[in-house]
Amino acid sequence: MNLRLNSEFGTLKAVLMHRPGKEIDRLTPYNKEFLLFDDVPYLEALQKEHDVFSNLIKESTGAKVYQLRELLIRVLYDQEVLLKLLQESLKRSGMVHLAEAILVRYSTAECAGILTAGLKVHELRKKLPNLNVGELMEYAFVISPCPNLYFQRDPMALTPGGIIFSSMRMEGRQREADLLRTIFENHPDFKDNINKLYPVLGHDNPPSIEGGDIIVLSQKAVAIGNSERTDEKAIYHAAKAMLAEGTVERVYEVHLPQKRQFMHLDTVFTILDENLVLTYPDAMNAVLQTSLYTLKEIKDDKVHIKREVLKESLLTVLEREIPHLEILHTAAGNPDYAMREQWFDGANVFAIGPRRVISYNRNVHTNRALRQMGVEVLEIPSSELSRGLGGPRCMTMPISRSRV
Ligand SMILES: NC(=O)NCCC[C@H](N)C(=O)O
């Protein structure tokens, strides 16, 4: 499998998803903000909605839907891999020394559960009665949970030149990137097909970048949001790696307002066909600063890139990159409905093929506008899924699409 993508809309052939599990039940009214949720979802209902979503993808495209849990268990059979991941996961609580004791007392599948749903002191005590955790309270996490794991878009990204493994900004999500990197670097379906672009070798604590900020405009151009989650330095290094690789020739840095509803570039726009973009009204003009990275030269193995600040809107950039561009506004541009539907990721539909999208059923005005434009819209229930503030694109990590 060639782990590169040259479009956002080529017919889907394989996608990675995560069926939400016990990690969701770790959310409480007191930790939900830290864990980046706007509410406390009802797990069973959330799972049902997610199952509708993954089944719809299978039925409508025939694509292979990989489940993160299965991939994780497969790579954790390697005890060295498991030990390393447990050690990394225990760092935040200062309990790295417990890694081996956990490894020998829990099965591989249980370890996969712990690594996604977290582990509390009192739970571990059942297996280790003499556990000494110093100052940690009984209900504290020894390993923190990953309730945002069903937003598979963010811990990595595939580009025309290779893979970017995220370095996630918010503490509540940082472990997710370790899980994904471990899977892709060790699973037999993927490990020999990786061209890793980021993090750059030698970065211990890489600047933050998240998959939701990375949008493939074409085989030769990629846009990256400079946002609440992705910073300038990370964009510079990712752009340098992509330009050095040679497939991508232009990387655009797009400045976003630092607001929760615009947390990633894919909350602002998505690409549905070679000439059709869905966007929140005005976002295209409101983006005041865009920079363009291009390759200057490669001399004596050193890569030199150029950054130009463009005094143009995102719209102008897209018009240059996408010939005969048509723009469709969420809720057909009605400001009241667009605002409401933006909160529930109206622009964040998942393209499963050219002009074929999966969208939340609650975004009725946007779905109507899409249909009027000739787009096939498949709807999924969204009462619980939307409580984490991410849409269908956010919940999917396409790993193979037909080339366009
Ligand atoms: N690409 C996206 O916009 N992902 C949505 C992530 C939602 C998650 N609760 C977060 O705040 O990170």
345 CA closest ligand 1 atom index:
3
How many Å lie between the centroid of ligand 1 and the Cα of residue 256? 15
Mean pLDDT, rounded, for 285-299: 87
- The candidate with the shortest Cα–Cα distance to 120, out of 104, 107, 102, 100, is 102
Radius of gyration, alpha carbons of the chain: 21
Domain segments of the chain as ranges: 12-66+147-401, 71-143
CA of 58 to the centre of ligand 1 (A): 24
389 Cβ below 6 A of ligand 1: yes
pLDDT one-digit tens code per residue, 60-94: 999 999 999 999 999 999 999 999 999 999 999 99
* Burial group, residue 263, by CB count within 10 angstroms (0-12, 13-18, 19+): buried
ipTM passes above 0.95: yes
Inter-residue contact 292 to 263 (CB < 8 Å): no
- Ligand 1 close to Cβ of residue 353 (< 6 A): no
**Which atom of ligand 1 is closest in space to residue 264's alpha carbon?**
3
Per-residue pLDDT reduced to its tens digit, 192-207: 999 999 998 767 789 9
CB of 388 within 6 A of ligand 1: the answer is yes
| Whether 293 contacts 236, CB under 8 Å | yes
What pLDDT band is residue 134 in, cutting at 50, 70 and 90?
confident
The pLDDT value recorded for residue 288 is 66
pTM for the model: 0.96
* pLDDT band at residue 113 using 50, 70 and 90 as cut-offs: very high
Per-residue pLDDT at 98 = 95
Q: Which atom in ligand 1 lies closest to the alpha carbon of residue 348?
A: 3
Could you read off the pLDDT of 209-252 as tens digits, one per residue?
999 999 999 999 999 999 999 999 999 999 999 999 999 999 99
Of the residues 394, 395, 397, 399, which is catalytic?
Answer: 394
Active site residue 394: yes
Instruction: Say yes or no to pLDDT of 281 above 90.
Output: no
Residue 390 Cα to ligand 1 midpoint, Å, equals 5
pLDDT at residue 160, rounded to an integer: 98
DSSP secondary structure letters along 90-159: HTTTT-GGGHHHHHHHS-HHHHHHHHHH-EEHHHHHHH-TT---TT--TTSEEE---GGGG-TTSSEEEE
In the three-class reduction of DSSP (H, G, I as helix; E, B as strand; rest coil), residue 188 is classed as coil
pLDDT confidence band for 287 (50 / 70 / 90): low
Distance 278 CA to ligand 1 centre (A): 18
Mean pLDDT (the chain, rounded): 95
Q: Using a pLDDT cut of 70, give the percent of the chain over it.
A: 99
- Closest by CA position to 56, among listed 15, 28, 96: 15
pLDDT band at residue 132 under the 50/70/90 scheme:
confident
Ligand 1 within 6 A of 270 CB?
Answer: no
Cα separation, 184 vs 390, in Å, equals 23
Q: Taking the domain 12-66+147-401, which CATH number applies?
A: 3.75.10.10
Residue 261 pLDDT > 80, yes or no?
A: no
